[in-house]
Amino acid sequence: MENKRLEVFVVGAGVIGLSTAIRALEAGFDVTIFAEIFPGDQKSIKYTSCWAGADHISHATTNDLMHRLERETFSVFMGLLKEDPLIPVMIRPHRRYAQVFQPDDQLKIDHLSKFYSDFRILESSELPDGVVHGATFSTLCFDVPRYLPYLLNRFLALGGRALRTTLPSLSALLSEKDRPTLEVFPATSSDERGPPTFNPAAVINCTGIGARSVGDVLDTDVYPTRGEVLIIRAPWVHSDSTFHWKDGHVSYVIPRQSGDVILGGTFQVDDWHATSRPETVKLLKERGIEAFPELLPPTKRETRNVEDLDVLEECVGLRPTRNGGVRVDTASLTLDVGGKQITIPIVHNYGHGGAGYQSSWGSASLAVDLLESVVNK
């Protein structure tokens, strides 16, 4: 299908926006990303992707769409790891521990056993004290500070264009009168094509948590699920793990290629608080060394003192969750341009909650399939 003459705008430069823009370029579209924040910028609560853990643990037990997106994404990453061993993603063993095992947990275990090919239940001799159930399988761990620039560089290398701006609405991009200031990104870019025509064949909306506030979307079903984590220096930790406490809380560790480890976490619904809370940091540390004593330096594990954790950073991110689940569909936007009514197709791709990385390529492919269906009618 010939798409090379068609210009497409992608709004948002998180993991979903970048992945979708790459897939659109690969499909032959001329793609420009518009975003306020890009990989490499100072961290901001507005930009969820930079705060993510992230690993690939499927929770799509009852959501067929998310299950499909996660499975395709897992397959894509396995292929990328073979093609490019330098990609900042690792295959690591995951261990799931639980202090209690409820009837509902069996649904989750059955799902995981079908999703991950080497899944197995741990023997009782393999369980830590106080744990009644455990499982293990191989999964993916993302080095987020490296993976986001990897995506951006791949997008630019494929011929993509990036412009920094703050958009009050999607339609502001298409209105010369209302269009905000645009800045070429990166500032050193030598793109000789000049600015886009601002007459796109379609706009792809990948605004994440911003879908709640950006004009022409204003999706009140979008809300934050606040996550607070610690970045710990522990290069000796090589396993991805979750620990399900009897009170319902979950602790987890996610190793990165850099030798840093994520220790989480919290899942606080509709909580917009943008900075760490001392009481949460204290709980993360205390539960972290109880569930995962390997976070401590080998010579410090006997005493299990939280002060011996090498904490590099306290982080807070707002997972872009949505009532009804992820939204990957089409709509349209009609506006007056020079006294003439025009209709622009919109492809929405947002609302992934905490599953953005693990569903990114599947979501991107579906969004581009929808894009092709609306621009080639």
Torsion of CA 76, 90, 225, 203, to 10 degrees: -40
Q: Are 179 and 337 in contact (CB under 8 A)?
A: no
Of 353, 318, 357, nearest to 148 (Cα)? 357
Of 166, 149, 159, nearest to 38 (Cα)? 149
Q: Is 207 annotated as a binding residue?
A: yes
Instruction: Let me know if 298 is exposed, middle or buried by CB neighbors in 10 A (0-12, 13-18, 19+).
Output: exposed
Query: Tell me, what amino acid is at 95?
Result: R
What backbone torsions phi and psi does residue 225 show, to the nearest 5 degrees? -110, 105
Query: Tell me, what amino acid is at 304?
Result: R
Q: Is 161 annotated as a binding residue?
A: no
Cβ-proximal residues to 6 (8 Å cutoff; 6+ apart), any chain: 28, 29, 30, 201, 202, 375
Q: Is 133 annotated as a binding residue?
A: no
Of 207, 166, 147, nearest to 10 (Cα)? 207
Q: Is 343 annotated as a binding residue?
A: no
Q: Is 244 annotated as a binding residue?
A: yes
Rounded distance, CA 163 to CA 187, Å? 10
Rounded distance, CA 89 to CA 366, Å? 22
Q: Can you tell me which residue has the tokens 């067929």?
A: 64
Instruction: Let me know if 4 is exposed, middle or buried by CB neighbors in 10 A (0-12, 13-18, 19+).
Output: exposed
Q: Is 252 annotated as a binding residue?
A: yes
Instruction: Let me know if 300 is exposed, middle or buried by CB neighbors in 10 A (0-12, 13-18, 19+).
Output: middle
**What's the DSSP call for residue 61?**
S
165 three-class SS: coil
Q: Are 120 and 135 in contact (CB under 8 A)?
A: yes
Q: Is 181 annotated as a binding residue?
A: no
Helix H or strand E encompassing 360: helix 360-375
Sign (positive or negative) of CA dihedral 355, 357, 361, 363: positive
Annotated binding-site ranges for D-dopa: 244, 252, 319, 354
Annotated binding-site ranges: 48-49, 207, 244, 252, 319, 354
Annotated binding-site ranges for FAD: 48-49, 207
